[in-house]
Amino acid sequence: MKALTWHGRRDVRVDSVSDPAIKDPTDVIIKVTTSGLCGSDLHLYEVLGPFLDVGDILGHEPMGIVEGVGPEVTAVTVGDRVVIPFNVSCGTCHTCEQGLHSQCETTQAREYGSGASLFGYTKLYGQVPGGQAELLRVPFGNNLPIKVPHGPEDDRFVFLSDVLPTAWQAVEYAAVPEGGSLVVLGLGPIGDMSCRIALHRGASQVIGVDLVPERLERARGRGVQVLDLDKHGKGLADTIRELTGGRGPDAVIDAVGMEAHGSPGAKLAAQATNLLPSAVAAKLMEHVGVDRLHALYLAIDIVRRGGTISLSGVYGGQTDPLPLLTMFDKQIQLRMGQANVHRWAGDILPLLTDDDPLGVDTFATHHVPLDDAPAAYEMFQKKRNGAVKVLFKP
Ligand SMILES: NC(=O)c1ccc[n+]([C@@H]2O[C@H](COP(=O)([O-])OP(=O)(O)OC[C@H]3O[C@@H](n4cnc5c(N)ncnc54)[C@H](O)[C@@H]3O)[C@@H](O)[C@H]2O)c1
Ligand SMILES: [Zn+2]
Ligand SMILES: [Zn+2]
C-alpha cells in the first residue's frame, strides 16, 4: 500500500510499504477514505525527529471502511463506516473506564513514561503505524472504532478522531461559568473549533487570538471577537483586560502549544537537536525541552484571578520555567492533557447533522490526494494558500 512516511526533519514521503495484517483476534483493518493532517503532526515534522525512525507512518485522524476483522470482533463488520480515535485505547482498563482514554493502562508507552499509545506518533507514544495511508490496522476492534452512518461526506465525521473531542475537552476543562468569558489563544483547527463549541454551549464572550489573517477572519465569521497578536504586540494583555471588565477572562484555552510564535531561545534548542546524533538529541529534548512558552505565559498573565487555563496545545519539555508565584497568587486552575476521544464522542455525535451547528461540513480548507501529502505538510506548516485544515484522500 501507499503511506506517508517520515524520513527526517521537514522530509516526509509517500512510500510503498507492506499492507498491515491482522495480528490479534480483535484487530480490524480499515481502508482509509479520509485522514487529517494535524498541528501535532507539525511537531513530528519539525522537532520530534529524535523519537522517530525513518519509514515510520504518520497520521492519527483517520476514518474509513472496515475491510477485515479478526475472529473475535463482533462490534463492527466488513463494510461498516468507522472513525478511529487518535488514542489507542482498550476501552476496558481502569483509566478507560473513568473516561481517561488518553491514559489507557493497556497501551501506555511505559518505557518513556508516557500515557496511552497514539497512532502515528513517535516512540514516546508506542510507535504505532499511523493513518495517513491506504490501510490501517486498528487494535481493540470491539471498543475503539466509532461507527458512523453511511451517507454524508467524510467531512461530517472525520473530525471525531481528534479536532472535535480535543476542542470539546478544551471547552469542558475551561469550565466557563454561565454568561462568562473565554479567550482562545491560537485559531488553528483546535482553537477555531474550541471557539465554535464554546459559543454553541453558551459562553457569552469568546475572544480569539492569532496572527494569521485568514484564520482570524474565519473565526470572526463565526461570531468570535478576534485580536491580531502582531498588531497588538505587548499591549495585547491590557487590551484583553479592557475587553473583559478589567479583570481578564474567566478562562483561557491555549490551543497553540510548543510551535508558538515568539520565543527564539527554544527555536535554537530545537534546531540544535537536529544536528546531534539522535540518541543524544532525544535525551536533550526530553530534559531540556523545546518549549516555546509564549502562549502559556500570555494565558497566565491574562486569566482573571481564580480563573481557569485549559491547555490543549502540546508542550514537550521537562524543565520549563513557570511563574509559580503568579500562578499561586492568582489562584489559577490549570487543566490539560491529550483528549480522551471516546469520553466525548457521545456528546458530539448528535451535533453532526444536516443542520451542522459546528460547521464541520465546510471546516476543511484543503482536500489533497495522499500522493501530494509532502507538499501539503509544507503548505500547512508555512500556513500558505489559506491552509487551516488539510484532509488527505488516500
Ligand atoms: N490535547 C490534544 O489532544 C491535542 C489534539 C490535537 C492537537 N493538539 C495540539 O493543539 C495545538 C494546536 O493544534 P492545531 O491543529 O490547531 O495547530 P496549528 O499549528 O494549525 O494552530 C496553532 C495556531 O496558533 C497560532 N499561534 C502561534 N503562536 C501564537 C501565539 N503566541 N499566540 C496566539 N496564537 C499563536 C498559529 O498562527 C496557529 O494558527 C498544537 O500544539 C497541537 O499539537 C492537542
Ligand atoms: Zn491531531
Ligand atoms: Zn484502556
- Report how far Cα 175 is from the mean position of its chain's Cα atoms: 20
Whole-Å CA distances, 143 to 74, 163, 212: 10, 20, 39
Angstrom distance (rounded) from CA 332 to CA 322? 12
Residues counted in the chain: 394
Residue 45: per-residue pLDDT = 93
Range 192-202 average pLDDT: 97
Q: Which helix (H) or strand (E) holds 329?
A: helix 324-329
Per-residue pLDDT at 278? 65
Asked whether residue 298 carries a pLDDT value surpassing 60, the answer given is yes
Report which bound ligand comes closest to the CA of 105. Answer: 3
CB of 316 closer than 6 angstroms to any ligand 1 atom = no
Nearest CA to ligand 1 atom 36: 186
Q: Is 260 in the pocket of ligand 1 (CB under 6 A)?
A: yes
Between the CA of 260 and the centroid of ligand 2 the distance, in Å, is 16
In whole numbers, what is the pLDDT of the chain averaged over residues?
92
Looking from the CA of residue 42, the nearest atom of ligand 1 is 19
Return the pLDDT at 261: 63
Write a three-state SS string for 345-357: HHHHHHHCCCCCC
Q: Specify the DSSP class assigned to residue 40.
A: H
pLDDT digits (tens, 9 = 90+) for 79-122: 999 999 999 999 999 999 999 999 999 999 999 899 999 999 99
Ligand 1 atom having least distance to the Cα of 294: 31
The predicted model gives 16-40 an average pLDDT of 97
Q: What is the DSSP string of 252-303?
A: EEE--GGG-TT-HHHHHHHHHHTTS-HHHHHHHHHHT-----HHHHHHHHHS
pLDDT at position 370 over 70: yes
Question: What one-letter code names the amino acid at 213?
Answer: P
Give residue 138 CA to ligand 3 midpoint distance, Å: 14
CB 168 within 8 A of CB 348: yes
Among residues 241, 222, 297, the alpha carbon closest in space to that of 265 is found at 297
Rounded Cα distance, 105 and 39, in Å: 26
Q: Does residue 208 line the site of ligand 1, with CB under 6 A?
A: no
For the chain, report the end-to-end CA distance as a whole number of angstroms. 10
Do residues 180 and 310 touch, judged by C-beta distance below 8 A?
no
CA dihedral sign, ordered 328, 302, 343, 36? negative
Parallel, antiparallel, or unpaired: how do β-strands 28-37 and 62-69 relate?
A: antiparallel
Second CATH level (architecture) for the domain 2-161+340-393: Alpha-Beta Complex (3.90)
pTM: 0.94
Each domain of the chain, given as residue ranges in start order, spans 2-161+340-393, 164-336
Q: Which helix (H) or strand (E) holds 63?
A: strand 62-69
Query: In the prediction, which pLDDT does 277 show?
Result: 57
Span 298-317, average pLDDT: 92
Q: Other CB atoms closer than 10 Å to residue 305's CB: what's the count?
A: 10
Cα of 29 vs centre of ligand 3, distance in Å, is: 20
Mean pLDDT of 29-33: 98
**CB-CB contact of 390 with 374 (8 Å):** no
Task: Tell me how many degrees the CA angle 218-223-228 measures, rounded to the nearest 5.
Answer: 55
- Residue showing cell 454561565: 178
What's residue 49's pLDDT?
Answer: 87
Q: Say what the pLDDT of residue 257 is.
A: 82
pLDDT at 141: 98
pLDDT one-digit tens code per residue, 220-269: 999 999 999 999 988 999 999 999 999 999 999 999 987 666 544 455 45
Say whether domain 164-336 belongs to CATH 3.40.30.10: no
